[in-house]
Amino acid sequence: MARILLGVSGGIAAYKALELARLATVAGHGVRVLMTEGATRFVGAASFEGIVGAPVLISEFERDPLRGAFPDGPRPEHDPIGHLELAANCDAYLVAPASANTLAKLAAGIADSMLTTSFLACTAPRLVAPAMNDRMYANAATQANLATLRERRVTVIEPDEGALASRGERGRGRLPEPARLLARLEAALPAGHRPWDGLRVLVTAGGTREPIDPVRFVGNRSSGRMGLALAAAAARRGADVTLIAANVALPEPPGVRRVDVETTAQLAAAAGAEFSSSHVLLMAAAPADFRTTEVAEAKLRRQDSVDLRLEPTEDILAGLTAIRTDEQTIVGFAAEHGNERIERAREKLTRKKADLIVLNDVSDPSIGFESDQNAVTLIDPKEETDVPLSSKDSIADTILDRVGQLRAEAGLPAR
């Protein structure tokens, strides 16, 4: 896995950095923590040291007992210059939370602590996650500092909007949840260090269309956005992603192999060809459940009396899970409504032999289809988890986190 440098600056959100350090360590990464003096007023160095199993450094003059090594890594014979060695050895450096003061120093190139000095010396991917009061965040000075950092190829992880630390205040400035921070950090890691390196992921997206005549079809309103978000999230984690896109008008994410299909039969054939070599199947497409029994060869005319007869299409997911192996992780989607939607989705989980069902409540008009947002419930054999309304990108990361957990619990590679 990767060697991660975590810089923690002074802010109430510093407590979330403890959970981030824990998640990164549990994920198998070697983590070293650098704190500012200010950060030590909010959380103790001893907590980080206990979690990552390595000393925390604060002052740029401090001797590093590990001589710039990461936990479990080899220590050099000589005693190197601490801030240079850690910066040279890391695969990525994330400052979270990044206070307004620390951001200003990083933008100005000030080197007055182990955190800031190492940031200046670091040539690995660098990320900052600002967290502060919304007025401080919106201030022109902070925004100018962030713009400077972006220009210098530092990744800025935007803060979330919501309740802030100061009582009763809401706004943009919250540090994103630690799992999200870890996903963003891992996405920045070089190939070979990303958590899903070597994993083959098959994603289906969009909605199939069953022709009535050469110009008309029976179809559904799926836009493919959720599938594209899943494909993008898997690619960011390093997976080798194949996207089977059924009538998706949007471009595929970078690095993703795309196969275009139109009908349920074509989707079934394309998925069948890829399935056995895939470790993970994310069946986000909405295949048409019915096809016309006959397709008119020429365009039907309004004057023609049309009597459409429909027959059910094959259940692609059930067909694939019938030949699945225990090494594969399979995620199905369910569009349900009404009070019994959870029971129906759970029944689908068992009947379709999937490991996880992502349940969409299709009666809620604010989510789904064309929207960039979604709210879902994740249902696996053991538990149900509500994922509140958020962007499809964020939902995709939550689904992949769950896939990773399920694979880890089953003793399979990749989280």
- Interface of this chain with ligand CTP, residues 260 to 299, rule: CB under 6 A: 264, 283, 285, 287, 289
To the nearest whole angstrom, how small is the minimum distance from the Cβ of residue 361 to ligand CTP?
Answer: 12
Query: What tokens appear for 179 in the block?
Result: 């799992």
CA-based nearest residue to 4, from 108, 86, 99, 65: 86
Neighbours of 214 (CB within 10 A): 12
Near ligand CTP by CB under 6 A: residue from 335, 375, 408, 412: 335
Nearer to ligand CTP, 196 or 333 (CB): 333
To the nearest whole angstrom, how small is the minimum distance from the Cβ of residue 289 to ligand CTP?
Answer: 5
CA dist 92 to 113, 118, 124, 130, 284, Å?
19, 12, 5, 17, 32
To the nearest whole angstrom, how small is the minimum distance from the Cβ of residue 233 to ligand CTP?
Answer: 17
Ranges assigned E (strand) in 101-177: 126-130, 155-156, 160-163, 170-174
To the nearest whole angstrom, how small is the minimum distance from the Cβ of residue 245 to ligand CTP?
Answer: 13
Near ligand CTP by CB under 6 A: residue from 332, 346, 378, 415: 332
Under the criterion CB under 6 A, does residue 313 sit at the interface with ligand CTP? Answer: yes
Give the DSSP H or E segment for 185: helix 178-187
Catalytic site includes residue 220:
yes
Could you tell me which stretch among 47-55, 125-133, 191-199, 311-319 binds ligand CTP (CB under 6 A)?
311-319
- 220, 247, 339, 374: which is the annotated catalytic residue? 220
Could you tell me which stretch among 114-122, 135-143, 152-160, 309-317 binds ligand CTP (CB under 6 A)?
309-317
Q: CA 353, CA 224: separation in Å to the nearest integer?
A: 23
Rounded to the nearest 5°, which phi and psi values hold at 318? -65, -35
Under the criterion CB under 6 A, does residue 102 sit at the interface with ligand CTP? Answer: no
CA dist 156 to 98, 135, 143, 146, Å?
10, 18, 11, 7
> Which spans of this chain sit near ligand CTP (rule: CB under 6 A)?
264, 283, 285, 287, 289, 313, 315-317, 332-335, 348
Annotated catalytic sites, by residue?
Answer: 220
